Amino acid sequence: MRTTTTTPRSVAQAFLTAPVRPQTYKNLAYLALQFPLGVAYFVLLVPALGFGLGSLPLLVLLGLPAVGALVVGVATMTVDRAVTAALLPVELERHTAGASLDDGVVVYLTDLLFDPGTYLSVVFVLAKFAVGIATFVVLTVSGTLVAVALAAPFLYDHPDATLTIPLPAAVGGGLVAVDTLPEALAFAALGVVGAVLVVNLWNAIAWLLGEATTLACRHARVLDVGSAVEPDRA
């Protein structure tokens, strides 16, 4: 088994080369998908759960919506697992049904209803709504700040653009206008540093979400969409 040794030099190299690594842009694509996926999961699952839970008192006759809501939860977890496996370098386990429809509808539904992984899938994909909003805010704010800083040399003398830098309260606060070329170049240099920091922040968030999905996939139920039963490597 190959082992890797982490040294200060390797950490610094990984930090500085983050903007040019292909995996960084896969991470960015993964983060950018969190908001639309989170909204889609919410829109699909919440009405299904509401309708399904409303039918629980008449489960024997009208309980199919409740079962359908659980199936929707498992299906969306399957989608989320597939997206994570396609974009992040993680190993994800596949927890599928212990019974199939070939065993009979009653056996299959019993397995679905009494599998804790079914409910973990529902909770996990519902949480993606909040995750998607938080990710969208981080990407939008950090990306905008870096883009403005890098564009400073092209905007500082534009009549419709006003560039200012907020000063910390420790030095008196207030705003400093960027209205000369040297100031704009200095601001752009800060933007380069900020870009490296921001890209590493994005990578760290993607890593955290990947680890959370890896942990969830150990127990969260997904649909059996393939013949593989072993953990697969993205």
Mean pLDDT computed over 46-68: 64
Name, of 32-41, 59-68, 220-229, the range with top average pLDDT: 32-41
- Establish if 60 belongs to a structural domain: yes
> Is residue 234 assigned to a domain?
no
Q: What is the pLDDT of residue 69?
A: 82
Helix (H) or strand (E) holding 79: helix 64-87
The rounded distance, in Å, linking the Cα atoms of 3 and 111 is 41
Read off the pLDDT of each residue in 74-78 and give the average, rounded to a whole number: 94
pLDDT of residue 234: 38
Residue 229 has pLDDT above 60, yes or no: no
Structure tokens at 77: 């977890």
The span from the first CA to the last CA of the chain, in angstroms, equals: 19
Does a structural domain hold residue 64?
yes
Each residue's pLDDT tens digit, 97-112: 777 767 777 787 888 8
Q: Are 48 and 41 in contact (CB under 8 A)?
A: no
Q: Looking at the 3D structure of the chain, how many domains does it have?
A: 1
207 closest CA partner among 77, 32, 80, 31: 31
Task: Indicate the average pLDDT of the chain.
Answer: 83
pLDDT computed for residue 230 by the predictor? 43
Q: Is residue 2 part of a domain?
A: no
As given in the structure block, the two tokens for residue 54 are: 């409303």
More confident residue, 89 or 167: 89
Torsional class of 94: left (φ above 0), alpha (ψ -120 to 50), beta (otherwise):
beta
**Structural domain that includes position 48:** 22-225
pTM: 0.83
d(CA 72, CA 65): 10
* Residues 45 and 76 sit within 8 Å (Cβ to Cβ): yes
> What does the pLDDT read at residue 43?
92
Average pLDDT of the residues in 190-218 = 95
Tokens 């939008």 correspond to what residue? 140
pLDDT (tens digit, 9 = 90+) per residue, 141-170? 999 989 988 888 888 777 777 777 776 665
The 10s digit of each residue's pLDDT in 112-124 is 888 899 999 999 9
Q: Is 230 among the domain residues?
A: no
Q: Would you place residue 65 in the very low, low, confident or very high pLDDT band (cuts 50, 70, 90)?
A: low
